[in-house]
Amino acid sequence: MNDAVLPNKRPGGRSAQVQALVRTALEQLVAEEGRERVTVPAVAERAGVSASSIYRRWGDLSGLLAETATHRLDPNRPLPDTGNLRKDLTAWAQELITHLAQPCSKSLLKAAAALATGDADTDCLRNRRKEALALVAQAQARGEPAPEAEQVIDHVIAPIVFRLVFGAEPVKPELAERLVGELFAITDRAN
């Protein structure tokens, strides 16, 4: 039997460490060089990983940028559950605005949008759709009338992201209440 003491396993494991190194390298390079000059090989070099590791995990630079912009929004975090869908959607949208309007997140989101090919959904869109589906299902389980999840994406999330990517004015959390109100006005008229 070997009496050698094995080192403690690092929290999160090797994969989590590599992801953290890559995200940090990307954020540093965007801050130093501007998002237009960042490449996957440069991120890989800064992170001390192979470029193929980045391509395998994120697909391309656009995927890496989009996922990094939203990675602090843990897709497994608890979603609002106030007992009222309008309040839940407003709180959820306010959280997204607060996170995505941060300078680094906003810069990464803009870069991801500039590089997006439209061939596939990003992690950002997939995660927001999953959250919208969960919020709508939660309301329906309470017996509340609810818009479709795609309507939530189209009328709440899309305008927020559009303003963050293309707008000159700061996007403030108060926008969430207005967009959710407009969504309910549209869906109430349709019913």
pLDDT at 5: 40
pLDDT at 102: 84
This prediction's pTM: 0.73
Maximum pairwise Cα distance, the chain:
74
The residue ranges of the chain whose pLDDT is under 70 are 1-13, 72-76, 117-123, 190-191
pLDDT at 25: 93
Residues of the chain with CATH 1.10.10.60: 13-59
pLDDT at 113: 78
Q: Give the contacts of 5 (CB within 8 A, at least 6 positions apart).
A: none
pLDDT at 73: 67
pLDDT at 82: 94
CATH number of this structure's domain 13-59, picked from the four choices 3.30.365.10, 3.40.50.450, 1.10.10.60, 3.40.190.10: 1.10.10.60
